[in-house]
Amino acid sequence: MGTVSRDTIRVLITDDHPVFRQGLKGLLQALGVEVVGEAESGPDAVRLAAELQPDVVVMDLHMPGGNGIEATRTITRTSPRIGVLVLTMFRDDDSVFAAMRAGARGYLLKESGAEEIARAVRAVAAGEAIYGPEIARRVLTYFTDMPDPRQAAFPQLTEREREVLELIAQGRSNAEIAATLFLSQKTVRNHVSNIFMKLHVADRAQAIVLAREAGLGESSPR
């Protein structure tokens, strides 16, 4: 991913509101940023980005005549060195993650302060990813709250049975499982029998295959 080597950052502003474009242009110019063009729709942004090759495209998301998500996707695919900074009123998760998937390096709300916008433009021009505080919290919460796919794989198992299956997938014997979980070997045998029945498998080898396909047994192998 390319970064800016010159001192002056060249920016293309994309927004369908002329007053907002003018205000943002004045702000950026006052901070030493060169505004090389203005677009009022997604297709205009794609055309001007290809023609002008700015360092950063400041992109609104919802505009008449073509949305900013598609424009972002096209620009980042055809000109990977150009960074896209989304600047929008939309704070919903669908908009945030659609922009990220499209290749946007930054996402700010229009209520952000001048210093925050300027800092984000410089960061995106330098190849960094940057998000406003509220957006960053949303992203962090999303990934923190994501369920563990290993737990979702076998909902019919109890928590203890899932622990036993994890150790089976690691190749542990019943005696080793008993020692690890501080259980008797008889209790472990009962858990193993229940696991085989619930997973509809005939033996340990089949259970290991199913468990490993679901991502179990990848940590602390024997």
pLDDT tens digits along 56-108: 999 999 888 778 999 999 999 999 999 999 999 988 888 888 999 899 999 99
How far is C-alpha 68 from the chain's CA centre? Answer: 18
CATH code for the domain of 209: 1.10.10.10
pLDDT at 4: 46
What is the reported pTM? 0.62
The DSSP string of 74-132 is HHHHH-TTSEEEEEES--SHHHHHHHHHHT-SEEEETT--HHHHHHHHHHHHTT--EE-
Higher pLDDT, 216 or 148: 216
Q: What is the pLDDT of residue 147?
A: 57
CA distance 89 to 87: 7
What pLDDT, in 10s, does the model give residues 32-69?
Answer: 899 999 999 999 999 999 999 999 999 999 888 778 99
> Are 45 and 111 part of one and the same domain?
yes
| Same-domain check for residues 56 and 156 | no
Distance between CA atoms of residues 126 and 114, nearest Å: 19
Domain boundary among 116, 145, 174: 145
